[in-house]
C-alpha cells in the first residue's frame, strides 16, 4: 500500500467530485454464470471489487438504476459481461464500449455496510500519480486514454496491496485522429455493410498506407507528408461514401456519435517517462467530444 500513500511527484491543483459505488454492477458481476472467459477470473473474490486510491473509475453507460444525482462507479473489470469465445482485443473493445471514464479514485472504498456512510471521492482534474499497467512505454506529452490490458502474463496487477487476479482499467496511448475515424467507422458497421462492396478495398488501401507511413518514418522521412496526404484523402472518401450509404444525415450522425464516444475515453497528458509497471504523472484534462 506504500504507493497509494505517496504524494504526487509533480505539484498541481486537483478538482474532485463526490461519487458513489455501483452496487448493481458488482452484484451482477458476482452472479454471472461461470465460464472460461478472461473476465471471469476472480469474480467471486470480494476484495477485487474494492476501490483503492489512484485507481481509474468508470461507470456503465446504460446504467439507469440510480436516481440520486450521483455518479455510481467502480474500478474493476472482473465479472463484466462480454461475448464469450472471442479474443482479448475483441473483449477489450466490447467492455470499453459499455463503460465511460469518470476520474481517478481519491479515497478508497469497500462496498460493505461499514463503508456505506463513508465519503467516496473522485479526482477529475489536476495532477495525479498512476501506475502504467498498459503495454506501452509512455513519454512526457503523450495523450493517454482509458484502456483495458488483458495481455499481461497471468494478468497480475502492478500495484502493491491489490489482489493478483484483479483486472483494472489502465492507461493506453490515445490513437491518432485517422485511426479513431477508422475505429468509429468499424463500430457503426462500415466493414460489414453489403451496400458498399468497395469499403473493404478502401480500408485495405488505408491500412497499406499506414504501414508505408510507419516504414517511411524509420527510413525515408521525405515521403511521409505525401503518404499522410494520400491517407487523409482516402479517409475522407470513405467517410463521405459511408455517410451517403448509411442514410445521409442519419449515417453521419451515427458516425459522429461513435467518434465522440472514442474521444470521451481521453484521460489527459503524461508528464513523466514510464515503462510498463512504473509510476507516471498524468495531467487530467476536461474531456471534450472533439
DSSP code string of the chain: -TTTTSPPSS---EEEEE-EE-HHHHHHHHTSPP-SSGGGTTTT-GGGG-B-TT-EEEEETT--S--SSS-EEB-B-TT----TT--HHHHHHHHHHHEEEEEEESS-B-SSGGGTTS--EEEEEEEEEEE--SSSPB-TT-EEEEEE---SGGG--SSTTS-TT--BEEEEEPPPHHHHHHHHHHHTTTTT-TT-TTHHHHHHHHHHHHHHHHHHHHS-GGGHHHHHHHHHHHHHHHHHHHHHHTTTHHHHHHHHHHHHHHHTTEEEEE-S-B-TT-EEEEEE------
- CA-CA distances (angstroms) from residue 209 to 26, 30, 145, 197? 44, 45, 25, 20
Looking at every residue in the chain, the average pLDDT score rounds to 79
- Mean pLDDT value of segment 110-129: 81
**Higher pLDDT among residues 141 and 1, named by residue:** 141
Mean pLDDT computed over 179-186: 79
Model confidence pLDDT, tens digit, residues 62-110: 876 677 788 899 999 888 888 766 777 888 888 998 999 999 999 888 8
Better pLDDT: 250 or 50? 50
Q: Which residues contact 180 (CB under 8 A, 6 or more apart)?
A: 259, 262, 263
Percentage of the chain exceeding pLDDT 70: 77
- Residue 200 has a pLDDT of 63
Give 221-269 pLDDT, tens digit per residue: 777 888 888 888 887 777 666 555 555 566 677 778 888 888 889 999 9
Average pLDDT over residues 142-152: 85
pTM above 0.75, yes or no: no
Amino acid at each position: 500500500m506504500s504507493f497509494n500513500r505517496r504524494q504526487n511527484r509533480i505539484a498541481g491543483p486537483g478538482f474532485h467530485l463526490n461519487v458513489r459505488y455501483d452496487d448493481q454492477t458488482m452484484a451482477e458481476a458476482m452472479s454471472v454464470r461461470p465460464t472460461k472467459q478472461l473476465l471471469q477470473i476472480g469474480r467471486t473474490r470480494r476484495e477485487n471489487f474494492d476501490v483503492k486510491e489512484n485507481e481509474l473509475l468508470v461507470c456503465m453507460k446504460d446504467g439507469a438504476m440510480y436516481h440520486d444525482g450521483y455518479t455510481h462507479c467502480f474500478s474493476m473489470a472482473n465479472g463484466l459481461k462480454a461475448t464469450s469465445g472471442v479474443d482479448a482485443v475483441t473483449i477489450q473493445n466490447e467492455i470499453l464500449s459499455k463503460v465511460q471514464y469518470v476520474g481517478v479514485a481519491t479515497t478508497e472504498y469497500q462496498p460493505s455496510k461499514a463503508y456505506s456512510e463513508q465519503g467516496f471521492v473522485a479526482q477529475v482534474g489536476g495532477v495525479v500519480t498512476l501506475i502504467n499497467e498498459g503495454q506501452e512505454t509512455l513519454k512526457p506529452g503523450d495523450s493517454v486514454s482509458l484502456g483495458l490490458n488483458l495481455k499481461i502474463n497471468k494478468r497480475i496487477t502492478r500495484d502493491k496491496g491489490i489482489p493478483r487476479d484483479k483486472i483494472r482499467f489502465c492507461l493506453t496511448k490515445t490513437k491518432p485522429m485517422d485511426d479513431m475515424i477508422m475505429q468509429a467507422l468499424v463500430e457503426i458497421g462500415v466493414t460489414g455493410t453489403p451496400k458498399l462492396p468497395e469499403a473493404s478495398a478502401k480500408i485495405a488501401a488505408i491500412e497499406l498506407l499506414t504501414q508505408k507511413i510507419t516504414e517511411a518514418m524509420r527510413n525515408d522521412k521525405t515521403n511521409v507528408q505525401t503518404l499522410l496526404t494520400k491517407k487523409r484523402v482516402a479517409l475522407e472518401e470513405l467517410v463521405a461514401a459511408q455517410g451517403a450509404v448509411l442514410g445521409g444525415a442519419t449515417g453521419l450522425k451515427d458516425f459522429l456519435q461513435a467518434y465522440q464516444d472514442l474521444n470521451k475515453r481521453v484521460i489527459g497528458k503524461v508528464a513523466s517517462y514510464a515503462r510498463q509497471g512504473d509510476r507516471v504523472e498524468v495531467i487530467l484534462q476536461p474531456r471534450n467530444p472533439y
